[in-house]
């Protein structure tokens, strides 16, 4: 598939000032991608939310440092069967959240594979956040330590956080920090998201939260 542009819908709120940020959620099945999106967009949590089939799309407009930002959130299905469609979701997206479950080692392995794929295939300036979800779970069920996640994120220059879609922990902050990073690097006149977002390391603080 080749690069193509899509007509942008004039944004209703915020006039021409509103910045649209396409964000894609990736990660193994059952790590909580849809729950993170629902928590952020609607403030809801459903313990038994059904598996995503195909893809879902949600939007939310927020104010980040005086700039109105509209998130176009692509929530993808976790099972690899749909993998061939993945490039369509992340193509042209300036932001991605790669989610794993802190109680599942295999989901962390899958997250590493996603990181690799995005760094190789996607827009090299994409701002990526690695998120260890289900951080509310009892510590004895945890199989991926905070340090392990953080180290891996730093190694690849990604933002990092641990979240809980159930309690809401760090969910909002994660989106705001992603937006702030994108906005900050595109504030100077004439700049455009696609061209100028620099993926500078997040190493110093090791996290977006």
Residues lying near other proteins in the complex (CB under 8 A): 1-2, 4-9, 29-30, 48-51, 53-59, 72, 74, 77-79, 81, 84-85, 88, 106
Q: How far is the CB of 15 from other proteins (least distance, A)?
A: 18
For residues 55 and 62, which CB has a smaller minimum distance to other proteins in the complex? 55
Q: How far is the CB of 141 from other proteins (least distance, A)?
A: 14
Neighbours of 68 (CB within 10 A): 17
Strand boundaries in the chain, DSSP class E: 19-27, 55-64, 67-76, 95-101, 127-133, 159-162
Q: How far is the CB of 103 from other proteins (least distance, A)?
A: 12
| CA 102 to each of CA 26, 41, 188, 193, 202: distance values in angstroms, whole numbers, following the listed order | 15, 23, 38, 32, 20
For residues 74 and 175, which CB has a smaller minimum distance to other proteins in the complex? 74
Which residues lie closer than 8 Å to 172 by C-beta, 6 or more apart? 40
For residues 104 and 202, which CB has a smaller minimum distance to other proteins in the complex? 104
For residues 23 and 171, which CB has a smaller minimum distance to other proteins in the complex? 23
Q: Return the exposure string of 134-159: e unless at least 16 CB atoms fall within 10 Å of the residue's CB, then b.
A: bbeeeeeebebebeebbebbbebebb
Q: What are the DSSP calls for 136-169, one per residue? A: TS-GGG--S-HHHHHHHHHHTT-EEEE--TTT-T
Q: How far is the CB of 81 from other proteins (least distance, A)?
A: 6
Token digits of residue 168: 């809401």
Q: How far is the CB of 200 from other proteins (least distance, A)?
A: 29
């Amino acid at each position: 598939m080749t690069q193509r542009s899509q007509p942008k819908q004039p944004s209703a709120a915020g006039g021409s000032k509103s910045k649209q940020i396409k964000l894609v959620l990736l990660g193994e099945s059952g790590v909580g991608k849809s729950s993170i999106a629902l928590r952020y967009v609607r403030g809801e949590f459903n313990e038994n939310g059904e598996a995503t089939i195909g893809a879902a799309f949600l939007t939310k407009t927020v104010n980040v440092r005086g700039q109105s930002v509209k998130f176009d959130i692509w929530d993808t299905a976790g099972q690899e069967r749909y993998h061939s469609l993945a490039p369509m979701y992340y193509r042209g997206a300036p932001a991605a959240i790669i989610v794993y479950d802190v109680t599942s080692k295999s989901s962390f392995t899958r997250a590493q594979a996603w990181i690799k794929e995005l760094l190789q295939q996607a827009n090299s300036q994409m701002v990526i956040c690695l998120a260890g979800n289900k951080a509310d779970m009892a510590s004895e069920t945890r199989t991926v330590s905070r340090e392990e996640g953080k180290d891996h994120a730093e190694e690849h220059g990604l933002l990092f956080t641990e979240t809980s879609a159930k309690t809401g922990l760090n969910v909002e902050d994660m989106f705001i920090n992603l937006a702030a990073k994108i906005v900050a690097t595109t504030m100077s006149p004439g700049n455009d998201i696609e061209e100028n977002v620099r993926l500078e390391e997040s190493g110093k603080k090791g996290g977006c939260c």
